Structure 1
Amino acid sequence: MTAPISAFIRAKNEERMIGDVIRAAQQVVSEVVVVDSGSTDKTIEIAEELGARVVRSPWLGGGKQKRLGEDACTHDWLLDLDADEIVAPELASEIGVLFANGAPERSVYQMMMATAPPVGAVWRDFNLVDRRKLYDRRVVRAPDHANYDQFDVPSGVSVGKLRAPLLHYSFRDLAHLEDKFTRNSAGRARNTKLKPLWLLQLRVVFGKPFYFLNQYVRRGLWRAGWYGFAVANIAAHGRWMKDALMVEIHLRNRQGRED
């Protein structure tokens, strides 16, 4: 039995997984809205065949695109999904129980995202990321920002925790992962307030080993063997690339002033 929840999904050329994402969400939500930003593959066709409502819009940026999804939903309770995130049966069941007797006690619920790598088992015990994905839009909204799309919880609002994870099929292979980190680094470098040049230069020279250790040791990627080693290296390089791109911005600005 579904709950009075609308799931919204941002998409562009996501035919690889959009059907699985929609079907998984439909285990518990009563509406799925797909915000499509110009797909040329079968994304829209698949979504509509499965009963999802498709809203077409040019890409406005992460938070702004989420706002379109929020506004298009029928219900006030929302489940925010990306086009590579699968609601596992145990998570659907837990959400269903939460709404069994009406609206839940809290206005925001967070869940852990567990990476489902292209090879091997889901990383359920390490490299977990907590995300506030289930919420009442009357209380919180996605930020009206082109790059950032995670909302801040208002003061005094208590956040509930769901035990079951959301499965994140975040990359098809290592080349895809590297491409994602490169694109994200470029966007964040452009939209982040510039730190002092000397600090960024220090990070460019010395930072990469620390970024690697953060991924490999602190986030537990060592538990994924050689594959985790490769992922940690790619993630560290992506973080380092943001620093390098911000140094480049500083140098371009200096050159512009001199010209």
Structure 2
Amino acid sequence: MSQNPPISAYIRTKNEERMIGDVIRAAQQVVSEVVLVDSGSTDKTIEIAEGLGARVVRSAWLGGGKQKRTGEDACVHDWLLDLDADEIVTPELAAEIRNVFAKGAPNVGAFEMMMATAPPISGDWRDFYLVDRRKLYDRRVVRQPDHPNWDQFKVPDGVAVGKLDGRLLHYSFRDLAQLEEKFNRNSSGRARDTKLKPFWQCALRMVLARPFYFLNHYVLRGMWRAGWYGFAMASIAAHGRWLKDAKMVEIHLRNRDAAKDD
């Protein structure tokens, strides 16, 4: 790792023994340091990480963005690679990053890359259902949001953003049951922390929008290319997005009840 660019990778963890070894080894293709911000693992996560030379920082769970900030502050280098405990740096992406840093730190504030889903069956999806993520950045220019839920930063106006073509593979779920649980959990936080739209908008979306959410995932984002498994995933993703609308309606109804009690 000593010949790698001066980049630190940080990873938020809690009981991630399933993949943490693979994630760390993949990151070590290109970074000089791997830091885990662990919020109470009781499995072999820490043992595996330290055995691979990663440094572990223990921190109570502060929320998504706040936990990433803890990782930022713990790193030695200013250039940071933000990884989740189920994200794999491909050899192609690692080689591209090394090439970018070969002549010194680049003259941009961040890099964007495409994150590809790697489902538990049918191989990875490197050519469709891609998500644009800014995962490699200079903490002197931009920081993660100081927020318990939002954990994706916005690049300030006027700051240049580079583009990487290599893929970051996201092994985001073990099976469809876990995928549904994740969408349910995430919808609760987003309904709670998003600015509440008028009741009529939330109710109209709850009644009418679900088919459009499905078409967005299945047709526009290309999940039809994944066959029956893509159909199932698009259905779950659409339901997860619909849950945010339903939960916002529920917030309105609770607020009405509270106003009546007052």
- TM-score, normalising length from structure 2? 0.98
Select the residue among 41, 44, 47 that pairs with 1:45. 47
Matched with 2:129 is 127
Amino acid at match of 2:227: G
Select the residue among 58, 81, 106 that pairs with 2:108. 106
Matched with 1:210 is 212
Give the Cα separation in 2 of the matches to 1:29 and 1:23: 10
Select the residue among 232, 237, 245 that pairs with 1:243. 245
Matched with 2:222 is 220
Select the residue among 189, 192, 210 that pairs with 1:190. 192
1:193, CA displacement in angstroms? Answer: 1.1
State the Cα deviation string for residues 7-45 of structure 1 (Å, max 9, x = none).
Answer: 000111111001100000001101000001111111111
Q: What SS does the corresponding residue of 2:166 show, helix, strand or coil?
A: coil
State the Cα deviation string for residues 75-102 of structure 1 (Å, max 9, x = none).
Answer: 0000000000000111111101111111
Moved >6 Å (runs of 4+): none
State the Cα deviation string for residues 35-66 of structure 1 (Å, max 9, x = none).
Answer: 01111111111111111111111111111110
Amino acid at match of 1:54: V
Q: What SS does the corresponding residue of 1:3 show, helix, strand or coil?
A: coil
Matched with 2:233 is 231
Count how many residue pairs are aligned between Structure 1 and Structure 2: 259
Matched with 2:175 is 173
Q: What SS does the corresponding residue of 2:32 show, helix, strand or coil?
A: strand
Amino acid at match of 1:55: V
Deviates more, 1:99-108 or 1:17-26: 99-108
Q: What SS does the corresponding residue of 2:181 show, helix, strand or coil?
A: helix
Give the Cα separation in 2 of the matches to 1:251 and 1:39: 38
Q: What SS does the corresponding residue of 1:100 show, helix, strand or coil?
A: coil
Deviates more, 1:37-46 or 1:70-79: 37-46
Give the Cα separation in 2 of the matches to 1:25 and 1:124: 19
Give the Cα separation in 2 of the matches to 1:120 and 1:191: 35
Matched with 2:164 is 162
Give the Cα separation in 1 of the matches to 2:250 and 2:4: 50
1:105, CA displacement in angstroms? Answer: 2.3
Matched with 1:252 is 254
Identity of aligned residues (%): 77
1:122, CA displacement in angstroms? Answer: 1.0
Select the residue among 64, 77, 80 that pairs with 2:79. 77
**Structure 2, unaligned runs of 5 or more:** none
What pairs up with 1:6-17 in 2 under 5 angstroms? 6-17=8-19
Give the Cα separation in 2 of the matches to 1:239 and 1:44: 34
Q: What SS does the corresponding residue of 2:209 show, helix, strand or coil?
A: helix
Give the Cα separation in 1 of the matches to 2:141 and 2:247: 36
Give the Cα separation in 2 of the matches to 1:90 and 1:125: 15
Amino acid at match of 2:177: A
Matched, 1:4 2:6: yes
1:167, CA displacement in angstroms? Answer: 0.5
Amino acid at match of 1:142: Q
Q: What SS does the corresponding residue of 1:34 show, helix, strand or coil?
A: strand
Matched, 1:136 2:144: no
Matched with 1:32 is 34
Amino acid at match of 2:29: Q
